[in-house]
Structure 1
Amino acid sequence: MQSPARTGKANASQLLGLALLLAGLAYPFVVYLGLEHLSPRLFAVLLGALWLARLLSGKQTPLNRTLAVIALLFCLLLGLAGEPALLRWYPVLISLALLGLFAGSLMSGMPIIERLARLSEPELPAAAVRYTRQVTWVWVGYFIINASIAGGLALWAPLSWWTLYTGLIAYLLMGLLFAGEWLVRQRVRKDK
């Protein structure tokens, strides 16, 4: 049985994770609606506070730690520069950080998708290990494409297009990728 202090810390970490998820989902819309009324430095402070709290809360995975450090560096740059155009680069940086983690896991050690699969099935057969490697490559491709589109929109598109893509379309594409992978996985399992 966990101690109340440990349970409280786990709950706080989960709440921070949820707050960051919601902030990430709302971010493009908050930028779109608040850019004329809020200082980029305020965005930096609020977003940085969430990421710093997440970094300091409990046990960190390499994924969480890397994302937090990259986000905090972005917030520091945003706070120092105070440049509104920098606000559009946050989704690009998150995609690039995830790209680095997924691609890095393919180059050294166990791919991220295999690690996730082993949480529910510790003894993966060789065919499943190969499959998880292929799925990790698919995610690498997604993050390359997503970062490229978000970066292009940050540079050349109106704010409304950037908001539509980073706030809705990118998440729909991610959901389609999850669903497609799940369907393929079910078919692969059935064929065995």
Structure 2
Amino acid sequence: MHAPAPTGKANASRLIGLGLLLAGLAYPFGVYLGLEHLSPRLFALLLGTLWLARLCSSKQTPLSYTMAATALLFCLLLGLAGEPALLRWYPVLISLALFGLFAGSLYSGMPIIERLARLSEPELPPAAVRYTRQVTWVWLGYFLVNAGIASGLALWAPLSWWTLYTGLIAYLLMGLLFAGEWLVRQRVRKAT
């Protein structure tokens, strides 16, 4: 038996999510390359449109609603102020929003890491559930450190340093954290 095909609304939600992901990946380079030629209001309009579409396209949990609403408020502030320096704060906002999302999941329902683990293994043993909570705490640390570094770069570093960190190094560190967690998970599985 085949799973039902995704509905049009589900497809739209996935496309918008992909658009936000790609916009997030390209954002630092867009700021670096476009700052002299594009208005911060244009960045606000483009990001705001994606976040508004995200908000309207899928069922929202209170945590994801808060993240989208926070991003929309940032876009509104950026659009009203038109201040180029504000552009550097978007990665900080996203890290803090993800921190809030992960932290909130620890206290309301199932932690995000546990939800992701249950996609491939629906019946997690109690040890695995404890492990996913610990991994969620590790990600909280990453998001806080990342927000701190991005804040420092936004305040005191040249645009090229900010771009290098927020556009490349932060993602490499995230990839290392994913890979490290995967290796630890394999060892934990073998030990149980």
In the alignment, the residues of structure 1 paired with residue 109 and residue 7 of structure 2 have an alpha-carbon distance, to the nearest angstrom, of: 32
Q: Is residue 175 of structure 1 aligned with residue 175 of structure 2?
A: yes
Ranges in structure 2 where 5+ consecutive residues have no aligned partner: none
TM-score by length of 2: 0.93
Q: 1:63 deviation in Å? A: 4.6
Q: Which residue of 2 aligns with 1:13?
A: 13
Q: Paired residues, what number?
A: 190
- The aligned counterpart of 2:135 is 135
Deviations 1:20-54 (A, max 9, x none): 11100000000000001111111101110011111
Aligned partner of 2:122 in structure 1 is 122
Match for residue 54 of structure 1?
A: 54
Write the mapping of 1:89-128 to structure 2, written as runs, cut at 5 A.
89-128=89-128
C-alpha distance in structure 1 between counterparts of 2:26 and 2:184, whole Å: 31
**Conserved? CA contact 2:48–2:72, under 8 Å:** yes
Report the Cα distance in structure 2 between the residues aligned to 1:22 and 1:63, rounded to whole angstroms. 22
CA distance in 2, matches of 1:17, 1:32: 23
Identity of aligned residues (%): 86
1:153 maps to which residue?
Answer: 153
Q: TM-score, normalised by structure 1?
A: 0.93
Q: Deviations over 1:48-103 (max 9, x none)?
A: 00111111113234453232111101000001111100000000000001111212
* Structure 1 position 11, deviation (Å): 1.5
**In 2, Cα distance between equivalents of 1:128 and 1:2:** 30
Structure 1: any 5+ residue segments left out of the alignment? none
Tell me, yes or no, if the aligned pair for 2:63 and 2:104 is still in contact at 8 Å: no
